[in-house]
Amino acid sequence: MLPIGPKFALGRLLVTGSALKALEESGQSPIDFICRHVRGDYGEICREDKRLNEQALINEGRILSSYKTLKGAKIWIITEADRSATTLLLPSEY
């Protein structure tokens, strides 16, 4: 069971134009994915990335989530190690 509250600070929220377009095309809101990310539901990432995310909660590292929109576009969410910003982007924009 996932915690109800946030596990970490998001900082400033940013979204790239391409990610926003992919979300609009699927009729989905960025906030739905951001809420999952901040609660520790990292989406479709491998075990190693999940482990690194959990370590990042303690060691102040970068946190990565990966989701697919209803239309199949992959969206990444990255929270910076210093928690100054969280960005929604397409993997090709990294």
pLDDT at 7 (0 to 100): 93
Q: Is the pLDDT of residue 1 over 80?
A: no
Say which residue, 1 or 38, is predicted with more confidence. Answer: 38
Q: Are 93 and 46 in contact (CB under 8 A)?
A: no
Say which residue, 69 or 4, is predicted with more confidence. Answer: 69
Instruction: Give tens-digit pLDDT for 20-62.
Output: 999 999 999 999 999 999 999 999 999 999 999 999 999 989 9
What is this structure's pTM?
0.93
pLDDT at 80 (0 to 100): 98
Confidence of residue 5 (pLDDT cuts 50, 70, 90): confident
pLDDT at 3 (0 to 100): 54
State the residue for tokens 């900082």: 11
As beta bridge partners, residue 65 has: 77
